A and B are shown apart, each in its own frame.
Chain A
Amino acid sequence: MIRKSGWLIFLAMLAAILALVYLFLGTAIRLGMVYSLEKAVGAEVNISDVSVSLAPLTLNVSELQITDNAKPSHNTISFSNARAALELWPALLGYYVINDLAVDGLAYGTERSSPGKVFRGPHADPADKVDLQQLLRLDLPNAEELLARADLQTVARGEELQQLAKNQQQVLQDLPSQLPDKARLEQIQADIKALTDSQIANPADLAAKAAELKKLQDTLRAERDKLTAVQQQLSQSRQQLQQAVGALRDASSSDWQKLQDLANISDGGLAPISQILLGDFWGERIGQLEAVYRLAQPYIPESLPGKEQNNQAKLSLPNRILPLPSQPYPDFWIKNARVNWLICGGEALIELQDITAQHEIINAATRFNAEVTGLPQLSLLKLDGDFAVLEQMVTNLNWQLQGINVDSMDIGRGDTLLQLASASLSTTGKLNLVDNQVKQQAQVVLRQAEFSASPNKYIQQLAALLNQQAEISLNLTASGLISAPEVSIRSPLDKLLADAVLGEAKAKIAALQTDLRSKLDNELQQQLAGQSDWLTTLNTQDSEAKALEGNIEQMLNAKLAGVKEQAADKLKDKLRDRLGGGG
């Protein structure tokens, strides 16, 4: 049964729905945006108009203002107009592909015509606040701090040595009792002498004396074996002790090298002063880039390694998109975006292409470039780079800043306050970020810098020298984990500074060096304490053993030989007598 007017009814219904949508969608979106934004920021949000045009499908948002809940007379963010052109077919498939996104007149902190309502106070996390004074601290590291940071091997080797000495202590104490008794040796010596000096009356007497001599000889051999064992034990102990002492001394040398590296004094002075001055500061600045990583992390696809899977929590979410093996478009994709940002009387033009978190689908990275001109404090800022979430999140960034007017910046505090009254700063650099691993290189040039210093003579000398320079250039590199990068800052000025600032600063470095060396030597002495006594004991006992050994050998050889010769002479005499006189 076909209803002939069916098409007509359907088309009329569809037209009615589209008309309603066309008429009220803008208002609905405006109310939805105001509600969501107010809920998120806790302050009044105003949007003057939202309109939707159908061909092409475009959303226009006019005059958006978000009240600053900490300062209701001002906006946090506002813009005069934003326009997003959505592709229809992907939208019908459920993907948000925006061909062109343009935001004009974006501004931060503009004054409102009337104060906005505040629904919720600011919830600034104190941990996010940056204490510049703290960051710009100037402190030469002291010896104790460096010793604590150095993870000294001297102590460990020393403890090993002490343990070894303790083990050997018992052995060494028992050694004297194992040495042949001197009185007993003298008795044996006397017996041998009596035997060899006595006359041999007949063969039986010879045999008896020979047997007695052999017995004495065996006793002597046994004593000699004991002596040899003692000597071996002494030799072994001495060798082990010497090895341990050697290891301790090597560790001490290695520790000294490490401490020199840590204190940056291996060049014999103040060479890397820029590292000492700005190392921590730059490291903190790089570390703050971690905030960018944390911002981007929720948008990284879950298939990336290290991303936590939490399927259990998602079971309750309604209408999820199934994990298709491939999809024609990313979930969201802004092909071209252009933001015109009004900042401090100047203007920034930011252009971005291919904004998405699923770069493998479009096989391209998100590219961005920004150019800021006309600022009173900065003549030019150029920024460009790309960003892609593939196997890892990879970000490349190049920047060029020219003519940043720096005024009244404090480096350090108290006695070590170095005040930069004014300067013009230019910098170029590049940064590569792979997940949370950063590699960064930058050149910073400070021109017409005027420093003033605290009463500290060292800082005053430093300030005077810096003021004489037409240009101060710094090379900054950073690598490693973004939250705690290894920062290296070098300047061609470093050597000059080192040569020039020979006063207190040099003395301070020298004192640090001496202090470190003496502390390390103390450590070494403490670890070695008592070991020389043990070596002396070993040497004494070794000498005694050697003397005894010589004595025994002498007795064994000389006296035994005498008895044999006497016996042989007597036999010869007897034979000569029996054979009828001799000749």
Chain B
Amino acid sequence: MLTLLARILKVLNSEASPWQIGWAIGLGLLAGLLPFGLLTLFIILLVCLFTINLATFLLVWGLCSGLMFIFGDALEAVTWQYAQSPGLLQLLAQSETLQLFHLHHTLVLGAFVLGMLLLLPVAWLGTVLVKQYRGRVMSKLQQWKVVQMLKASKLVQLYEKLN
């Protein structure tokens, strides 16, 4: 938990630009919602090609994958209920590309649609929050005795050395 907190603080305090962190959160969420497959590989390719913060992406991916163990069944059931439209089914049946991405599987389709809906708002919100943090919170937080004690602790110093 301490390591996780230190990692978050390190990213937030790093030189990475807010949009790099914001998109990392958005794409991490999308990758986390989706079951592992070609779409996940495609997202990893995007993350590698663009200067998106890898640490944040991996962190959010892990967190969201965990959340899917809780909400996966509900998402699948809702998708099954709303994905019975003949037009959509026809489209999925005709396109082997969509089937290649396993979008004819309920959980993949539901996670993909939800992830795409959340991608932009979450990325934008992440960017804004990082900016707000850096502009308003970071300098004040650095002055907190708790943070100074934490930063001075051997554990954090050791962690920073290792990283």
Contact = CB atoms under 8 A, between A and B. Distances in A.
Contact of B102 (A2, A9, A94): A94
Contacts of B73: 316, 318
A309 interface: no
B93 interface: yes
Interface string B56-96: 00000000000000001100110010011010011011001
Interface string A310-338: 00000111111111111110000000000
A535 interface: no
A92 B100 contact: yes
Given A320-B106, A321-B104, A3 B93 contact: no
Main secondary structure of the interface of A (DSSP, over half): loop
Nearest to A325: B93
Given A319-B107, A320-B80, 7 more contacts: A1-B20, A6-B48, A94-B99, A319-B108, A320-B105, A322-B84, A322-B109
B144 to A, nearest CB: 33
Given A7-B48, A324-B89, A318 B76 contact: yes
A320 B110 CA distance: 11
Interface in A451-490: none
A93 B49 contact: no
Given A2-B49, A93-B96, A324-B93, A319 B106 contact: yes
A503 to B, nearest CB: 74
B106 A322 contact: yes
14 contacts: A3-B50, A6-B49, A7-B48, A10-B48, A10-B49, A13-B48, A93-B96, A317-B76, A318-B73, A318-B107, A319-B76, A323-B84, A324-B89, A327-B93
B49 A320 contact: no
B80 A315 contact: yes
B51 interface: yes
A511 interface: no
B51 A2 contact: yes
A325 B90 contact: yes
A321 B105 CA distance: 5
B84 to A, nearest CB: 8
B126 to A, nearest CB: 16
A327 B72 CA distance: 26
B116 interface: no
B41 A14 contact: yes
Nearest to B68: A318
A1 B106 CA distance: 34
Closest CB pairs A-B (n = 9):
A6-B49, A319-B107, A324-B93, A6-B48, A10-B48, A1-B51, A9-B48, A93-B99, A3-B51
Given A14-B41, A320-B76, A322-B83, A94 B48 contact: no
Contacts of A6: 45, 48-50
Interface of B: 20, 35, 38, 41, 44-45, 48-51, 72-73, 76-77, 80, 83-84, 86, 89-90, 92-93, 96, 99-100, 102, 104-109
Contacts of A326: 93
A180 B86 CA distance: 89
Given A2-B50, A315-B77, A322 B104 contact: yes
Given A3-B51, A322-B104, A10 B44 contact: yes
Given A10-B44, A320-B80, A320-B105, A325 B50 contact: no
A88 B69 CA distance: 29
Nearest to A327: B93
A92 to B, nearest CB: 6
A464 to B, nearest CB: 71
Interface of A: 1-3, 6-7, 9-10, 13-14, 92-94, 315-328
Given A10-B45, A319-B35, A93 B51 contact: no
A6 B51 CA distance: 8
B51 A328 contact: no
Contacts of A3: 48-51
Contacts of A92: 38, 100
A318 B45 contact: no
Most buried by A among B83, B90, B99, B109: B99
B104 to A, nearest CB: 5
Most buried by B among A2, A320, A328: A320
Contacts of B77: 315-316
B95 to A, nearest CB: 11
B138 to A, nearest CB: 23
A384 B41 CA distance: 47
A319 B34 CA distance: 11
B105 A323 contact: no
A61 B133 CA distance: 57
Contacts of A7: 48-49
Contacts of A2: 49-51
A228 B96 CA distance: 94
Contacts of B49: 2-3, 6-7, 10
Nearest to A17: B41
Contacts of A93: 96, 99-100, 102
Contacts of B72: 318
A176 B77 CA distance: 86
Nearest to B106: A320
Nearest to A311: B80
A319 B80 CA distance: 9
Contacts of A324: 89, 92-93, 104
A94 B105 contact: yes
A171 to B, nearest CB: 72
A322 B41 CA distance: 23
B163 to A, nearest CB: 18
Contacts of B35: 319
A358 to B, nearest CB: 14
A1 to B, nearest CB: 4
Nearest to B77: A315
A9 B81 CA distance: 40
Nearest to B35: A319
Contacts of A328: 96, 99
Contacts of A316: 73, 77
Contacts of A319: 35, 76, 105-108
B127 to A, nearest CB: 13
A325 B86 contact: yes
Contacts of B89: 322-325
Contact of A322 (B44, B48, B50, B92): B92
